[in-house]
Amino acid sequence: MDLFEIVLILAIALIVVGPERLPEVMRTVGKVLRELRLASNTVLHELTEVLEEPAPPAKMSPPTPKSEPPAVQPPAAVPTEKR
C-alpha cells in the first residue's frame, strides 16, 4: 500500500467512526488481524507437516510368477521341388 492509500483509509475511518472511538477501533482491527495471521500460520504449519511426512509403506502382495510368452515355433520347412 502506498502512504496515500493508508492516509485515505485513516481519513475515512476518522470521519465514519469519529475521533473518540478511532483508537479503540484500530486496536480491535489490529487484534483481529493478528488472530487471522496466527490462524493462517497454524494452518500452513500443519499442512507443511502433513506434506513432509513420509507416506506409509504400501501393503506388498506376494510376487506373482511371471508368465513367459508362448514360444514361437519357426515355420515348418516346405519342401521345394527341384526341376
Cα–Cα distance measured from residue 30 to residue 22, given in angstroms and rounded to the nearest whole number: 12
Confidence of residue 35 (pLDDT cuts 50, 70, 90): very high
What is residue 59's predicted lDDT score, i.e. its pLDDT?
Answer: 74
Of residues 64 and 47, more confidence is placed in 47
Cα–Cα distance measured from residue 11 to residue 18, given in angstroms and rounded to the nearest whole number: 10
The rounded mean pLDDT for the chain is 82
What is residue 54's predicted lDDT score, i.e. its pLDDT?
Answer: 77
Q: Which of 14-23, 28-37, 47-56 has the highest mean pLDDT?
A: 28-37
